[in-house]
Amino acid sequence: MTLRERLRQKISAAFYHHGLLCASYPVPIILFTSASILTCCYPLLRLPLPGTGPVEFTTAVRGYASPSHNPLGDPVERPDWYRGPPVAYIQQVLVKAAVSPWGSNLLPVDAFRPPLGQVFTLLEEIRNHVHSDSSGVQSLEHLCLQVTDLLPGLRRMQTVLPEHGCLLVSPGNYWQNQQELFDSDPDLLKTVQKHEPKGLHTSATLRDLLFGVPGKHTGVSHYSKKRVVTYTITIALSTYDAGFLGSLRARLKQLHPSANCSLGEEHMVHVHFKEEIGIAELIPLVTTYIILFAYIYFSTRKIDMVKSKWGLALAAVVTVLSSLLMSVGLCTLFGLTPTLNGGEIFPYLVVVIGLENVLVLTKSVVSTPVDLEVKLRIAQGLSNESWSIMKNMATELCIILIGYFTLVPAIQEFCLFAVVGLVSDFFLQMFFFTTVLSIDIRRMELADLNRRLPAEAGLPPPKPGPLRPREAPPPPRPSPHTITLQTPAFRNLRLPKRLRVVYFLARTRLAQRIIMVGTVIWIGILVYTDPAGLRTYLAAQPPHLGGMAPVFPGGDPAKALSVLPAREATPLPENQSQRHLAPGRVQEQPRGPPAATQVPWGAEDEEGWRRLSFRHWPSLFSYYNITLAKRYISILPVIPVTLHLGPQEAPETPRHPQDARLPPDPIPKFSSPDLQAADLTLYKVAALGLAAGVLLVLLLFCLYRVLCPRNYGQNGVSHGRRRRGDLPCDDYGYSPPVSEISPLLLRGHSMDIECLASDGMLLASCCLAGQIRVWDAQTGDCLTVIPNHNGCWEQRGASWDGAGGACDPESLGCEGRDPCVGGDSASEDEGGGFPFRRHAPPLRPPLFTDQPDLTPLIDTNFDSRLPPSSVHAAPPRGAAFDYGGLVERAYTEHEPPSPAAYPSPSYSSSPPTAGFANCRRSPVEAPDRGFACGPPPAAEWEGSVWAMELRGNLIAAGRSSGKLQLWDAVEGSLRCSNEEGASGITALAFLNNRIVAARLDGSLDFFTVELNKPPGLLQYRGAPGRGSMPPSPCYSSDDLISCQLTRSVLCAHQKPITVLRAAAGRVVTGSQDHTVRVYRLDDSCCLFTLQGHSGAITAIYIDETMVLASGGQDGAICLWDVLTGSRVSHVYGHRGDVTSLVCTNTCVISSGLDDLICIWDRSTGIKLYSIQQEVGCGDSLGVISDSLLVTGGQGCVSFWDLNFGDLLQTVYLGQTSDGQGVRQLLVLDNAAIVCDFGSELSLVYVPSVLEKLD
C-alpha cells in the first residue's frame, strides 16, 4: 500500500512538472511533437497507398514453374500471395508497323490501314502455330484460357469480345477477326470510336483492351506524326508451356524480325490484385464507421468550458489519428508489414485507443480554480488525473497483451498496432494535447479579460473638473462577483444551434473553402486521369529522364524528314507559308538516312502493359465473370514484331473508296500538329475545369452573400473571433471596444445619500445632511447645490424660531438669485405660507457652536461657496454618531414607523433622518451670529428630506415635517412650498403636473402644480446647454408656480404608507396594512383596494403598460390587473421581505431579504431561475433593457444577462471593497445607471445598450 501511495505521489509530481513544462513552452513543444509525428510517419511513405493497387513480383522466365500451393522453405523471398498457379498467363505480341518510306502519293489513312490489316495474318499465324516436341503436339487451342459467355450486362460487347473459346484479343476483334469486314469498313476510326464510352472514364476502355496499349500510343490517328502503328495481340493462357511459347516467339521473330529491338525476355511479372470492395463488404464497413463517428461525436461533445470546442475536438481527433499513423509507421519501420485491411481495422483501433483520456484531461484541467495561473491550472489538472490515466493505460495494455497471446496472427497484429498506438497516443496526449489545452485555456482567460461590457463608447470626452474625479477601475478581485466564468458553452446557448452552425460556416467560410479545395482536387484528378493527361505523360517520362533508350523526342530529324515530303505534297491552299520553308527542308532530306524509317523499340515497350490502367486486366477478366481479386496473373515477356510496309505495299492493301475523301490534314499549322492535337484535350479539360471552378466560386460567393448579409469580418480579426460568444449587442453590429467600464463618481455630498431622483436629463440627490445637489446626468457635472438652509439658519440662531415671516432679502439677495419672487408668490398663494422654513433640525449645532464663524463665508454667495459640509468635512462625520439620543427621541415623539416596515438597509436611514429632523426641539442654542437676516421665517421646523422627485426643472422634496417643497433644479431656488400636512411625507410621486404625497399617518395628499406665467415672459427659456428637454412639463424660472392641495385622502390606509408609485395615470400605494390601493391620478379617486398579501407591502412596481406587481413582507409577489383589480398571479418567492420589484416585458424580477434575485415569467408566474447573491448585497434592481439587469452589491454593481442569468460584469465603484452597499439604483434613459455609494453618486454608462435602444 505504501508502495502504491509512493508511486502515486511520484506519478502525480511528475505529471505536475510535466504540466508546468507544457504550459510554459507551448510552441517548442508543439513543434517538437509535430516533428516526431512526421518522423514516425515517414516510413509510411514506403507503404503502398491504401486501395486496390496491384502488387508485382518478378521471377525469371528461365526455369519457371508454376508455384506450388504450399511453399516449402523457399530460399527466395516471395510474397505470400505467390502460391498456386495464376489465373492466367498473359502473352502479348507487341506489333509495331510502319509504312516507310512514306510516299507522296499516300493518304493519311495509309499510315494505319495497312498496318492494322496485318493483324489478321498475324492472328492466323498465331492460331495455327503448332509446337511439337517429345511430349506431343501443342497448339494454342490447348493452352489458352477458354472463356465462356460474357456477363449478361455486356451484350453490346458480344461482337467485339471473344466468347466460347480462347481469350485472345487484338484490334482485329473490331472486325470480328475477318479481313473482309476490315476491308469493307469505310471508316476505321469510326469503328474504333464507336465502342468508346461517353464521358469521363478512368478504367480500361475497350480500345485499350483490344489494342493493348494506351490509346495515345497506338498511332491510329490521322494526325500521328510518327506514322508508326502500335498494337498488341493479347493471349491469355491457362497453362504455361515453355516450349510452345518459345517456338511461337521464335517463329514470329523469324517472320518479322525487329532489328533494333533489345527487349528483355528474361523476366515474367506476376501481378497480384487486391480484393475489390463490393457492396456487401461496404455495408458493415460503413456501419463501423458510422459507429465510430457517433462515438467521436458523443465523446467530443463532452468537451466543455473551453474557449474553442471545435479546436479541442479537432485536437483530440488529431491526437488519436496521428497516434495510429505513428503506430503503423513505427511497426513498418521495424519490419512489420501490415497485412490487415487498414480500412477495416481502423475504426476498431480508434475505439480501442479511445478519446477518454483526452476528455478526462480536459475536464480535470477545466475544473481547477479559475483564478490560478494557466500553468498551474494545467499542472494541477494533469496531476489530479495522473493516477487514473496511468491505471487505465496499464489496464488497457494488459488486456491487449492478453490478446497478443491468443496466437492468432490477425489478432496479434491488431494487438501490436494497438499497443504501439496506445503508447504513442499517450505520448501525444501528454505533449500535444496538453499543450493545445494550455493554449486554449490561456486564450479563454485572455478572452475573459477582453470580454467586458463595452465602456464609454457613448461617453463624452472627459472634462477636467474638481467635482468629477474619475476613479481608476480597481483590479479585478477574486470575489464571487468577479467570476466571469462565461464559458463558451454557456454563451453559445444564446444563439440557436442552427444559427450557430450558420455563423460558424460564415465565419470560417468553411463551405467556401471546402468547395474550392474540392474543385482544385477535382481539376487535379481530371488532369491526372484524363487519357491525354498528366498520368500518361508522367508514365512516359521515366525513359526520357533516364535517357536509357532511343526514344523519339519531338523533333527527331529522321521522323521530320520522313514526314516532310508528305506535308509538302498536301495540296493545301493554306500552306503558303509552309512552302517557303519547305525547300530548305527538302534539301536536308538527302543527308538523312534514305532507307526505311526505323521502327523504334524502347525500354518503355518492354513492359508496355504498365502504361495501361491498373484495372485493365481485372476488367478484361471481369467481362467473363472471372475475378482477379486476391489472385494474380503472370505476364510473360512480350514478343516484339516489327512490320515494315513499303510504300509500294501500302497501296496494295485495298483502300476503301471513302478513305480518299477523308480530310488529309485538318491542321494546317506547321509546328508540331500532333502535339497540339494531343494537348488539345488537356487544354479543353483544364479550361473546362477552370471555368467550372470559377463558376463554383462565384456561386458560392453569391450564396455566402445571400446567407450572410452582415459583414462579419469587417471589424477586424479580433472582433471576428469574438463574434460568436459575445454580448447580445454584438448581433446589432456593435463591436465593443476592449476596455472596462469605469464608473463616474459624483462627489460633493458630505453624508450618505438619502434620496435619488432623476428625470433622465437631470439627477437630483439628497444626502442625510439635507443638501440637495442637481447633476447633469450626461456629464456628471454638478449644476446646482441646494444647501440645507435649516442647518444654516439654525446655527444663526434659535431666536428665528419665533419670528415670522418675510423673505430675507439680504441673505438671499447676495446669491444673485431671486427666491423672493417665488417666496412672495407662494405667500400670496398660500396666504402666509412662507416657502422658507429654515427651522429644520440643527444637524450641526453641537458642532458649530464652538466653531469659528464661517457662516458669513458660507452664506454670502451660493454660487461660489462650497457646501458647508465639505468645508467641515470631517466633523460632521465624526459627529454623526452622536445622534443616537436624538433618534430615540424622534421615535418616541413621532410615532415612528414600526421597524419592520423598514427592514431593508435602504429604509434604515429614514428613521434617523426623521430623528435629525426633529432635532429642532433639542435645546441647542446657537448663538446669534448677528446676521441681519431680517425676520426669520415661519415657526415650523422644516425637517429633512424623506422623499424627493424630479420632473422637468422642478424638484419636489417631501420633508419629515410634512412640508412639500418645489425647487428649481437649475437655479437652486425654492419655487413654492406647501405645508398643509403635518405628518412626514414618506413617499412622493410626481407625474405630469400632479404630485402625490404619502404621509406617515397613512393619508395621501394630491397636489396640483400650477403654472402662472407672468405677463411678458411667455417665451420659453430652457436651461442653456441642454437641447432636448424631457417630455415632462418644464418649468421656467420665470413662471410662477403654485402647488395646491387638491385632495387629501385622510385615511388612505390604516397604517403608514410604505410605497407609492405612479404611472399610467394611476397612483398605487402600498401600506403596512397589507393592502394595495389604486387611485386615479386625475380625480384622486380610489379605484381598487387590492388585498392578497399577508404582510406589509414592501415593494410595488407599475409602469406605463399598466403592469402592477406588489411584494410584501410575507415574501409573496402578486401580479394584478390594474383595469379590473383582479389578482393575476400570486407566488411566494422569498424567505423574508420582497425588497424590490421590477418588470420587463416578459418577466418579473424580484429581490428579497434572503439575498436572492428571482426571475419569474410574467404571464405564467413560473419562476424561471434565481440568482443567489452575496449576503448583505443591496436590494436595488434596475432593468436597462429587456435582457440586461443591473443589481447593486457591496461597493459594486453587477450586470446580468436576463435571458440566461449569466453574470456579465461587475463594476466596482470605489477602490475599497468594504464600501457601502448600493441602496438605490436608478436607470436613466440614456442607458446609464446611477447609484448611491456612500456619500458619492456613481454614474455608470452602459453604452452598448444605447445601440440597442436605437
Name the site residues for other proteins (rule: CB under 8 A): 151, 153, 276, 278-281, 283-284, 287-288, 290-292, 294-295, 298-299, 301-302, 344, 347-348, 351-352, 354-355, 399, 402-403, 406-408, 410-411, 489-490, 493, 618, 622, 625, 627, 629, 1161, 1164, 1168-1171, 1203-1205
The least distance separating other proteins from the CB of residue 627, rounded to whole angstroms, comes to 5
The least distance separating other proteins from the CB of residue 348, rounded to whole angstroms, comes to 4
Q: Residue 333 class from Cβ within 10 Å (0-12 exposed, 13-18 middle, 19+ buried)?
A: middle
Residue closer to other proteins (CB basis): 314 or 399: 399
Residue closer to other proteins (CB basis): 184 or 625: 625
SS percent in the chain: helix, strand, coil, step 5:
40, 20, 40
Residue closer to other proteins (CB basis): 147 or 643: 147
Whether the Cβ atoms of residue 986 and residue 946 lie closer than 8 Å to each other: yes
- Distance between CA atoms of residues 1052 and 1064, nearest Å: 20
Whether the Cβ atoms of residue 228 and residue 102 lie closer than 8 Å to each other: no
Residue closer to other proteins (CB basis): 487 or 983: 487
Max Cα-Cα span within the chain: 159
The least distance separating other proteins from the CB of residue 284, rounded to whole angstroms, comes to 5
Whether the Cβ atoms of residue 636 and residue 268 lie closer than 8 Å to each other: yes
The least distance separating other proteins from the CB of residue 81, rounded to whole angstroms, comes to 15
Residue closer to other proteins (CB basis): 121 or 625: 625
Handedness of CA 415, 418, 424, 427 (dihedral sign): negative
Beta bridge partners of residue 1062, listed in sequence order: 1067
The least distance separating other proteins from the CB of residue 205, rounded to whole angstroms, comes to 17
Residue closer to other proteins (CB basis): 398 or 939: 398
Whether the Cβ atoms of residue 612 and residue 619 lie closer than 8 Å to each other: no
**Alpha-carbon 1193 to chain mean position:** 34
Residue closer to other proteins (CB basis): 255 or 489: 489
Residue closer to other proteins (CB basis): 339 or 1091: 339
- Distance between CA atoms of residues 951 and 597, nearest Å: 112
Whether the Cβ atoms of residue 143 and residue 244 lie closer than 8 Å to each other: yes
Sequence-ordered alpha helix ranges (H) in 818-867: 819-830, 845-848, 855-860
Residue closer to other proteins (CB basis): 489 or 1018: 489
Cis peptide, bond prior to residue 101, ω within 30 of zero:
yes
What is the side-by-side order of every strand in the sheet holding 1116-1121?
Answer: 1097-1102, 1107-1112, 1116-1121, 1127-1132
- Distance between CA atoms of residues 81 and 1095, nearest Å: 93
The least distance separating other proteins from the CB of residue 351, rounded to whole angstroms, comes to 4
- Residue with the three cell numbers 454557456: 490
The least distance separating other proteins from the CB of residue 347, rounded to whole angstroms, comes to 6
The least distance separating other proteins from the CB of residue 1169, rounded to whole angstroms, comes to 3
Whether the Cβ atoms of residue 761 and residue 1026 lie closer than 8 Å to each other: yes
DSSP 1000: T
Query: 53: which residues sit within 8 A by CB, 6+ positions away?
Result: 274, 614
Residue type for position 582: A
Residue closer to other proteins (CB basis): 81 or 490: 490
The least distance separating other proteins from the CB of residue 1070, rounded to whole angstroms, comes to 29
Strands (E), 367-406: none
- Residue with the three cell numbers 418579473: 1148
- Distance between CA atoms of residues 1086 and 1078, nearest Å: 6
Residue closer to other proteins (CB basis): 672 or 1203: 1203
Helices 2-24 and 374-404: crossing angle in degrees, nearest 10, is 120
Residue closer to other proteins (CB basis): 280 or 706: 280
Residue closer to other proteins (CB basis): 403 or 651: 403
Residue closer to other proteins (CB basis): 229 or 1158: 1158
Smallest CA-to-CA distance from 1000 within 1083, 884, 914 is with 914
Distance from the first to the final alpha carbon of the chain: 69
Residue closer to other proteins (CB basis): 103 or 1205: 1205
The least distance separating other proteins from the CB of residue 955, rounded to whole angstroms, comes to 40
The least distance separating other proteins from the CB of residue 504, rounded to whole angstroms, comes to 17
Residue closer to other proteins (CB basis): 1164 or 1216: 1164
Sort strands 1004-1012 and 994-999 into parallel, antiparallel or unpaired.
antiparallel
The least distance separating other proteins from the CB of residue 448, rounded to whole angstroms, comes to 18
The least distance separating other proteins from the CB of residue 1029, rounded to whole angstroms, comes to 39
The least distance separating other proteins from the CB of residue 1132, rounded to whole angstroms, comes to 15
The least distance separating other proteins from the CB of residue 1147, rounded to whole angstroms, comes to 8
The least distance separating other proteins from the CB of residue 1165, rounded to whole angstroms, comes to 13
Q: Which long-range contacts (C-beta less than 8 Å, at least 24 apart) are formed by 655-662?
A: 655/107, 655/109, 655/110, 655/113, 656/113, 656/183, 656/184, 656/185, 656/186, 656/187, 657/186, 658/186, 658/187, 659/107, 659/109, 659/110, 659/113, 659/186, 660/107, 662/107, 662/108, 662/109, 662/187, 662/222
